[in-house]
């Protein structure tokens, strides 16, 4: 799916953004029509204006009062994109505290529709790119999110490890990435025992997908959790807990979208990018890993399996240890990892963990600037003992349920040793109900925050 702006401002119909009062320059007939239509400028309200000849002359779009908390209205203009008739539109004026780039990106995101299984189209109204915005960069952001959404929205019968590999190969071919895949028994032979153990019970073989791009500059390595479906394994989830488990590869979908965004914006000309995706299904069979098993990771650390449903950190651990062996400047993991993160911050704000204060500040600020909110959480070292079971080096599921997102992050950090700096994102990857610019279903989180922070991270 592609995102696009309208090409010709001269033929586009005008939109007046309205807060509390109608804008100056609106003629008397339009003012009378707006009054007769009951238009007040309430956020999301739309009034189509006649042109005097039986046609459509423009539209008034309410954006609500000028508040001190504009974040509450994120992508508010995207409501208009979905409600206006098909055709080309331009914004006539920009009221105070309306960011043209944010409005334009939200409009582009509203063009998304997931139509693989039935006809579903996004907004057909196209916006002329506002003056001064970086239109190509906004399109790259939107299309990267479309890729992520498509991957997450596709059910596991069509998005297993094989299909995830195919999606990675397609993205690699379009953007010039090198790609290598290690699958099945080759994982055990090449010392990826945890990835193999988690995925070996599934019908499709587990695999590690590796993409590379760039030859000079600092190294950024992205690791995305690619659990294409998670039954919970022998510690099986109840039916309600499995309903959204097609999205358990949301970390993989996000790093693929981010890699595409980095390539399309030209960021990879000044860096070396590596993407690692352990792609598995956590299934049940006679050879499934069992509660109480102790597995030895690629790094040599032993892990007691106290819950087979805490498998994401296992596959990430081997991939991260492999990444750290090359000592990248930055190692970033992204995963739909814990329910504890949702309890703490809800579905919209993924927590991230980073020991570098300046880098963490840059990531959080970039998330705010690019309408991709994230919130820093601590690697709280006193909790380290919670992931040390005594019988093995590490526990994949500490008892008690306290601080679940933090203990998962601490577990992963053990495998990042060797990388220059490390950040972990515990994302949700799902929009529970439709919102401006965001359909119900898969959603990208954290990718734009990282894109915006890169200049600070890699300097």
Query: Which residue carries 């204060």 as its tokens?
Result: 357
Residue 68 has pLDDT above 60, yes or no: no
| Torsion on CA atoms 340, 337, 251, 349, rounded to nearest 10 | 10
- Rounded Cα distance between 273 and 221, Å, is 6
Closest CA to 268 of 224, 220, 222, 320: 220
User: In whole angstroms, what is the distance from residue 294 CA to residue 390 CA?
Assistant: 12
| Mean pLDDT in residue range 130-155 | 98
Return the bridge partners of 183, or none.
207
- Report residue 39 as tokens: 């238009």
Between residues 69 and 59, which one has the greater pLDDT?
59
* pTM as predicted: 0.96
For residue 286, the SS3 value is coil
**pLDDT tens sequence across 43-67:** 889 999 999 888 999 999 998 887 6
The C-alpha atoms of residue 336 and residue 291 are separated, in whole angstroms, by 21
Picking from 65-69, 75-79, 190-194, 284-288, which range would have the lowest pLDDT averaged per residue?
65-69
Locus of tokens 């807990």: 241
Closest CA to 276 of 352, 355, 177: 177
246, 313, 413, 448: which one is catalytic?
A: 313
**308 DSSP 8-state letter:** T
237 belongs to the catalytic site? yes
> Taking residues 126-151, what's their average pLDDT?
98
**Whether pLDDT at 71 is above 80:** no
Token pair 């703490």 in the structure block, residue: 344
- Residue 441 and residue 153 in contact, taking contact as beta carbons nearer than 8 Å: yes
Supply the mean pLDDT for the chain. Answer: 95
Beta strands per DSSP E along 225-313 = 226-230, 272-282, 294-296, 302-304
Instruction: Return the percentage of the chain with pLDDT > 70, whole number.
Output: 98
| Identified catalytic residue from 137, 188, 237, 421 | 237
The architecture in CATH of the region 13-133 reads 3-Layer(aba) Sandwich (3.40)
Band (394; pLDDT cuts 50, 70, 90): very high
Domain residue ranges in the chain: 13-133, 141-457
Residues 7-33: pLDDT tens digits? 999 999 999 999 888 988 888 999 999
Return the beta strands (E) in 8-128 as ranges.
13-18, 46-50, 56-62, 87-93, 125-127
Q: Is 413 left (phi over 0), alpha (psi -120 to 50) or beta?
A: alpha
72/61: higher pLDDT? 61
- Return the CATH architecture of domain 141-457: 3-Layer(aba) Sandwich (3.40)
Rounded to an integer, what is the distance from CA 89 to the centroid of its chain? 29
Which residues sit opposite 217 in a β-bridge? none
């Amino acid at each position: 799916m592609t995102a696009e702006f309208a090409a010709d401002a001269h033929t586009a119909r005008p939109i007046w953004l309205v807060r509390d009062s109608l804008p100056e320059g609106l003629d008397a007939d339009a003012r009378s029509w707006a009054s007769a239509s009951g238009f007040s400028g309430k956020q999301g309200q739309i009034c189509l204006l006649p042109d005097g000849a039986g046609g459509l002359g423009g539209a008034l779009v309410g954006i609500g009062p000028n508040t001190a908390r504009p974040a509450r209205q994120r992508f508010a203009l995207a409501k208009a994109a979905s409600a206006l008739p098909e055709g080309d539109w331009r914004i006539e004026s920009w009221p105070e505290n309306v960011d043209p780039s944010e409005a334009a990106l939200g409009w582009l995101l509203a063009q998304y529709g997931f139509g693989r299984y039935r006809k579903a189209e996004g907004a057909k109204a196209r916006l002329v790119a506002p003056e001064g915005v970086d239109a190509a960069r906004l399109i790259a952001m939107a299309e990267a999110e479309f890729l992520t959404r498509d991957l997450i929205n596709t059910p596991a019968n069509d998005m297993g490890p094989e299909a995830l590999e195919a999606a990675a190969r397609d993205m690699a071919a379009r953007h010039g990435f090198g790609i290598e895949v290690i699958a099945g028994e080759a994982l055990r032979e090449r010392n990826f025992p945890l990835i193999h153990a988690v995925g070996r019970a599934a019908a499709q073989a587990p695999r590690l997908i590796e993409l590379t791009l760039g030859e000079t500059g600092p190294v950024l390595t992205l690791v995305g959790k690619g659990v294409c479906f998670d039954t919970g394994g022998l510690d099986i989830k109840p039916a309600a807990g499995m309903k959204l488990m097609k999205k358990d590869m949301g970390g993989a979908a996000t790093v693929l979208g981010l890699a595409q965004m980095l390539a399309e914006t030209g960021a990879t000309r000044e860096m070396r990018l590596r993407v690692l995706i352990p792609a598995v299904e956590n299934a049940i069979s006679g050879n499934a890993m069992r509660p109480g098993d102790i597995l030895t990771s690629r790094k040599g650390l032993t892990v007691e399996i106290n819950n087979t449903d805490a498998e994401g950190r296992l596959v990430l651990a081997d991939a991260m240890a492999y990444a750290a062996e090359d000592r990248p400047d930055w190692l970033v993991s992204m995963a739909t990892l814990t329910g504890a993160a949702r309890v703490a911050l809800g579905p919209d704000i993924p927590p991230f963990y980073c020991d570098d204060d300046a880098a963490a500040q840059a990531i959080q600020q970039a998330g705010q600037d690019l309408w991709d909110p994230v919130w820093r959480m601590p690697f709280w070292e006193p909790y380290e003992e919670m992931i040390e079971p005594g019988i093995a080096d590490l526990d994949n599921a500490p008892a008690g349920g306290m601080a679940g997102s933090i203990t998962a992050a601490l577990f992963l950090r053990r495998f990042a040793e060797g990388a220059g700096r490390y950040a972990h994102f515990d994302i949700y990857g799902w929009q529970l109900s439709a919102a401006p610019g965001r359909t119900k279903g898969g959603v990208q989180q954290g990718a734009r925050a990282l894109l915006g922070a890169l200049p600070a991270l890699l300097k």
